Structure 1
Amino acid sequence: MSDLSRGMSGLSVGSGDMERLRQENRDLKRQLGGGGVKPSLAIPWEDIDLGDQISGGGFSVVYRGYWLRTPVAIKRWFDPEMTDKLLQEFREEVMTLQELSHPNIVQLMGVCSKPPNLAMVTEYLPHSLFHVLHNTNIEVDRKRVISLAKDICCAFIYLHSRSPPVIHRDIKPANFLLDRAWKLKLCDFGLASQNARQAGAGTPAYMAPELLAGTGFNEKVDVYAFGVCLWEMLARLLPFAETPPGQLKEKIIAGGRPEIPLSCPKAMANLIKDCWQQEASLRPSFPKIHNILSDMQ
């Protein structure tokens, strides 16, 4: 008998509680390795040709490179100690992304899962929405904004329709990739979650008040962040750039939001305001947002 089973055998619980405990036990085993990489996705590290670094943060770095002579992006996890936490974060992101297939979500092509070489290989797209908005003079007119916003909606209609819903929790322009035809794809599922674990993690300027407050949350936190991104696409400014980092959390929890440009059409301004409503239940769903955007075209 395992230590967990011995501990459970001494509990006096009803049938409903016992089933809940069994489910939690199954979930824990899945998170810690009970589930695994699909055999068809397993690739040897030696097959990867690592190129220049694209981005990085936390315990992972993203590189461009080649796999079987195909241009790819490689997200590599690193930690000299290879802690259980790092291994769990790697497994969870892999297990989330390998179950997803949608035109507006970056495609997982392979996984290296033997420490110390932990890596995900995905399709390569040359630009991020952040780069286009803030590091170029490329025109992004309202028609283009609506088109990109509808692509985002399609990705989240798919994610939130899954059972249980996949909540991304880190929507921001840096996590939307673009190809040369302006097709948008969502990436970075490191914070994707179906529970309240790590409720305070994320990028503060895009986090809903309930995330910053550390209270319960649902898929409407993604709607909130979408509203901030929509504002950013129109304003081409960084949200809350004028707010000192130490004051940002308090400001958002108190209801503070970026100022919508006067040039923003009324219908678009109203949509942004609806998306970043303080009360999560008042925020629209992504299918409704998609319909509103379609009416603007």
Structure 2
Amino acid sequence: MGGVGDIKGSDLKPLRKLGEGAFAVVEEAVYTPPSWEGQDRTPSGKPIAPRRVAVKRLKPAIIDHEGDLESFINEIALLRKLANRRIVEYIGVGSSDLSSEEAKRKSMFLVQEFMDGGTLKKLVSRQMLDMSRHIYSFDDAFRWAVHVAEGLEYLHTSRPVVIHRDLKLENILLKGTDPHMSEAKIADFGLVAIVRPRDRALHEKLEASDAAQLQRQQSVSRSTFMRMMSSRKQLAMSPQEAWDESFKVNQLARMRTLPPQQLSGRTGSYMYMAPEMYRQEAYTEKVDVFSYGVIIFEVCAISIAGTEEEIESYAAKVSRGYRPPLPAAWPEALRRLIAACWEQDPALRPSMAAVKEALARMQAEGVPAEMQKLAIQPMCQCAIC
């Protein structure tokens, strides 16, 4: 478990906006830990030096929506527990306005490591616009592919299983401004699903429990969180611990009402959506494998899959079996790997461990160098053809 704990808004010096989505704004800032108070130190006891960080805040209009606030709380609690070099590092959480409980709620923020290389989508877009030079090589593409595969393997083999559900180029961030030296990490866990191992006997036992009690557990949300926040002094509970507790109770309620491994419904971006998710059928972590295949295709084809990321008609076409054509000139091993990730039947898609092995074999056999020799041109950006 990483992070330094609660962070004061006064310890952050905003620098610039990094990006803005439908739900949140992310900005670059300098975080100066209050090391003179002995709160933030390395394991060796040395004060933690100021560092550039990324600060994520929900938009005020969004944070008033109970479901979105709960998702943000869950994301924070999960990130505290993830510890893998292929996941963007969690640093801490806090509120910038402590004048009232309402102000605390509306000024919540999440602090993570600053990824100075930006998003993988931005880099692929730059390469598409300037094919006269190699902004990134296929050695780089395969290195990033391995990094993302390692991160997904960590998530999918965790207990409980973590399904990202929104893998796309925008959510793969690069550490390092030189593409030839950069590392790729997975970011944005706002749509994550956590699935406990199969336990049919336990599930049936829980199904028979008192319905009223289940309803009370399911109702834990913003009101519970606010009560935890208001009483945290008496309980010696930090905002971070309160979010964790709210997260645990909400997850327990979900686990008690849903059969294990039974997830359904559409979540994420249409251009990366697995067929079973679009059809709102039960799905597993293999939806991430499908999305991963799209990412590898885009990076190697030097093409963004569609001029619009939310084209439902394209996702419908994919759900019926359509896939973008794989260039015949590509090495057969790469074509097989992407096709396997895109299998219509999720049970036939490989595990991320198998994907890693396939990538390692291709690297050893010189596939990236073979790709580099090809006269690669950006593929059609149309999401329909």
Q: Same fold (TM over 0.5)?
A: yes
Structure 2 CA distance for aligned equivalents of residues 63 and 91 of structure 1: 19
| Max Rg structure | 2
Residue 193 of structure 2 corresponds to residue 193 of structure 1: yes
Change (3 A) 1:48 1:199: farther
For residues 79 and 64 of structure 2, the distance between their equivalents in structure 1, rounded to whole angstroms, comes to 21
Which residue of 2 is the match for residue 177 of structure 1? 173
Question: 1:51: Cα distance to partner?
Answer: 2.7
Counterpart pick for 2:111 among 121, 126, 134: 121
- Alignment partner, residue 319 of structure 2: 253
Equivalent residue letter for 2:54 = A
Give the alignment's Cα RMSD to 1 decimal. 2.2
Q: For the residues of structure 2 that align with 1:257 and 1:240, how far apart are their CA atoms?
A: 13
Q: CA deviation at 1:197?
A: 6.3
CA distance in 1, matches of 2:309, 2:135: 27
- Equivalent in 122, 127, 131 of residue 131 of structure 1: 122
Residue pair 2:12, 2:29 contacting (<8 A) in 1 also: yes
Q: Are 1:276 and 2:258 an aligned pair?
A: no
- State the alpha-carbon separation in 2 of the partners of residues 109 and 188 from structure 1: 14
Counterpart AA for 1:194: I
Asked if 1:154 corresponds to 2:135, the answer is no
Q: Distance in 1 between matches of 2:276 and 2:301?
A: 25
Distance in 2 separating the partners of 1:62 and 1:198: 29
Pair 1:115–1:258, CA change in 2 (3 A): same
Question: Unaligned stretches of 5+ in structure 1?
Answer: 1-36
Which digits, 9 at most, give the CA deviation of each residue in 1:2-54, with x for residues without a partner? xxxxxxxxxxxxxxxxxxxxxxxxxxxxxxxxxxx999521122222223221
Which residue type is aligned with residue 53 of structure 2?
Answer: V
Q: Is the 8 A contact 1:90 1:118 kept in 2?
A: no
Question: 1:275–1:87: structure 2 CA closer, same or farther, 3 Å change rule?
Answer: same
Q: Which stretch has the larger CA shift, 80-89 or 171-180?
A: 80-89
The one-letter code matched in structure 2 to 1:95 is A
Shift of the 44–243 alpha-carbon distance from structure 1 to 2, 3 Å rule, reads closer
> 2:270 — aligned with what?
204
Unaligned stretches of 5+ in structure 2?
A: 33-49, 96-103, 196-261, 364-385
Q: Which moved more, 1:58-67 or 1:284-293?
A: 58-67
- Out of 4, 9, 20, the residue aligned to residue 45 of structure 1 is 9
1:66-108 deviations in whole A, cap 9, x for unaligned? 1114111111012346232232011110011110011111101
Equivalent AA in structure 1 for residue 109 of structure 2: A
Aligned positions of 1:1-297 closer than 5 A: 40-68=4-32, 69-80=50-61, 82-113=64-95, 114-126=104-116, 127-136=118-127, 137=130, 138-180=134-176, 181-194=181-194, 199-241=265-307, 245-297=311-363
Given that residues 31 and 52 in structure 2 are in contact (C-alpha distance below 8 angstroms), is that contact kept between their aligned partners in structure 1?
yes
Contact 2:263/2:282 (CA < 8 Å) preserved in 1? no
Is the Cα–Cα contact under 8 Å of residues 4 and 91 in structure 2 kept in the other structure?
Answer: no
Which residue of structure 2 lines up, in the alignment, with residue 12 of structure 1?
A: none
CA distance in 1, matches of 2:80, 2:335: 36
Structure 1 residues 260 and 212: CA distance shift in structure 2, 3 A: same
SS in 2 for 1:166: strand
Show the counterpart of 1:17.
none
TM-score, with normalisation over the residues of structure 2? 0.64
* Identical pairs, percent: 30
Give, in whole Å, the separation in 2 of the partners of 1:249 and 1:295: 32
Distance 1:259 1:203 in 2: 20
* CA displacement 1:118-138 (0-9 Å, x = unmatched): 111000012211111112444
- The structure whose RCO (Cα within 8 Å, separation 6+) is larger is 2
8 A Cα contact 1:79 1:86, kept in partner: no
**Using the alignment, how far apart are the partners of 2:294 and 2:344 within structure 1?**
13
Q: Deviation string for 1:145-197 (max 9, x for gaps)?
A: 22111111111111111111100011111111112231111110011102566
Q: Is 1:78–1:118's contact at 8 Å kept on the other side of the alignment?
A: no
Letter in 2 for 1:157: E
Number of residues of Structure 1 aligned to a counterpart in Structure 2:
261
Residues 194-203 or 91-100, more deviating: 194-203
Q: Which residue of structure 1 lines up, in the alignment, with residue 206 of structure 2?
A: none
Distance change in 2, residues 1:242/1:265 (3 Å): farther
Letter in 2 for 1:107: E
Residues in 2 aligned to 1:95 and 1:263: alpha-carbon distance in whole angstroms: 45
What amino acid is aligned across from residue 211 of structure 1 in structure 2? M
